[in-house]
């Protein structure tokens, strides 16, 4: 099968799984306009919105990339805004062929107009329940110096709604400025409460970040690409069956790598490491999951069977219920 045939086959896939997707990085321009209208917020024209949301070519690093979240987060400060943003996103994902996803966001960033974290999460769950998509929420704790109380509250709220729309927590933010090692307290508490977790690590920071995430007990690593720089870490990932949530275009946008072929995707596959392919922030990165899969397939000469394996990795590593996993696996195998 040549690249054109493979690309066409990927375009026709209607049973896709995505694990690493940020709500605020996934708000389409259309979604922004809809939720702004609901909240009586005036927006500039589409071109100006694009400039505020889509990262420019030649972005310096993750820290510059993170500034693109300011505008979408400003639209997610009310119950109606959050609920409808989630609902609209899920409907868009259904149109793209997604059948299971985990949408992550940080409740503590959505309190600027008086909501508390519990209200934020309940609003997002209402959005989930307004759509037919199989999905869950991952609540992100944030890297920072003065937000320990907020992070602990995120874990408590995750526990309250675990199995009711929430499936896990995460740690997100400026990894190189706030090392993973500083946030052991989050995952110690999550483990005590029985809350599952994934952790952003090994993206803007090096292998030590991944070592720390694994030492905290994480079975999934958000990005994790810098793991390739440490032979012993690679062996540890294999030994513990860790799954890496790789986001190719995002890694280019944040200047972690200069081009797609620099990302160690094929090296991970050849070593038997379980990886998944994700968009991370599809609007900010101007991409979607099918485009990511085609990009990876063409860059590393993958087969359609390889693509299905990547998707099976995703559902198997997901925080979905056993029943949902079984349903999705059947659909993937028969795709």
Closest CA to 17 of 224, 237, 272, 312: 312
For 89, 136, 208, 321, the CA distances from 128, given in Å and listed in that order, are 9, 8, 36, 16
Strand partners, 171: 141
Pairing of strands 166-172, 16-22: unpaired
The answer to whether 177 touches 144, Cβ cutoff 8 Å, is: no
- The DSSP letter of residue 81 is H
Question: What gap in Å lies between CA 207 and CA 236, rounded to an integer?
Answer: 12
CA–CA dist 183, 240 (Å, integer):
21
Q: For 102-137, b where at least 16 C-beta lie within 10 A, e where not — what string?
A: bbbbbbbbbeeeebebebbbbbbbbbbeebebbbbb
What are the catalytic residues?
203
Q: What are 288's two structure tokens?
A: 């979607």
| Cβ atoms 73, 111 nearer than 8 A | no
DSSP character string of 196-233: -B-EEESSSS-HHHHHHHHHTT-SEEEE-GGGGG-HHH
What is the rounded distance in angstroms from the CA atom of residue 238 to the CA atom of residue 224? Answer: 13
Task: For residue 158, give the nearest of 112, 117, 199, 127 by alpha carbon.
Answer: 117
């Amino acid at each position: 099968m040549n690249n054109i045939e493979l690309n066409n086959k990927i375009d026709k896939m209607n049973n896709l799984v995505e694990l690493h997707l940020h709500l605020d990085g996934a708000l389409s321009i259309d979604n922004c306009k809809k939720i702004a209208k609901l909240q009586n917020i005036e927006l500039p024209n589409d071109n100006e919105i694009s400039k505020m949301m889509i990262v420019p070519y030649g972005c310096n690093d993750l820290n510059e990339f993170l500034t693109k979240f300011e505008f979408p987060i400003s639209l997610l400060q009310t119950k109606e805004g959050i609920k409808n943003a989630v609902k609209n996103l899920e409907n868009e994902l259904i149109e793209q062929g997604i059948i299971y996803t985990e949408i992550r966001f940080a409740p503590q960033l959505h309190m600027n107009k008086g909501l508390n974290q519990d209200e934020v999460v309940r609003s997002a769950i209402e959005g989930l329940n307004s759509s037919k998509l199989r999905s869950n929420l991952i609540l992100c704790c944030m890297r920072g110096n003065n937000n320990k109380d907020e992070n602990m509250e995120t874990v408590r709220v995750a526990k309250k709604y675990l199995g009711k729309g929430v499936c896990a927590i995460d740690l997100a933010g400026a990894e190189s400025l706030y090392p993973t090692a500083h946030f052991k307290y989050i995952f110690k508490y999550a483990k005590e409460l029985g809350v599952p977790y994934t952790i952003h690590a090994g993206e803007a920071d090096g292998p030590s970040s991944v070592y720390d995430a694994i030492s905290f007990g994480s079975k999934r690593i958000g990005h994790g690409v810098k793991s390739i720089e440490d032979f012993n870490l690679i062996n540890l990932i294999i030994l513990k069956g860790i799954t890496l949530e790789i986001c190719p275009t995002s890694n280019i946008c944040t200047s972690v790598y200069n081009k797609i072929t620099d990302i160690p995707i094929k090296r991970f596959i050849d070593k038997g490491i379980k990886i998944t392919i994700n968009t991370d922030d599809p609007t900010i990165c101007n991409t979607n999951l099918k485009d990511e899969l085609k990009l990876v397939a063409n860059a590393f000469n993958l087969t359609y069977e390889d693509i299905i394996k990547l998707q099976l990795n995703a559902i198997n590593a997901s925080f979905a219920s056993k029943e949902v996993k079984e349903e999705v696996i059947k659909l993937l195998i028969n795709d």
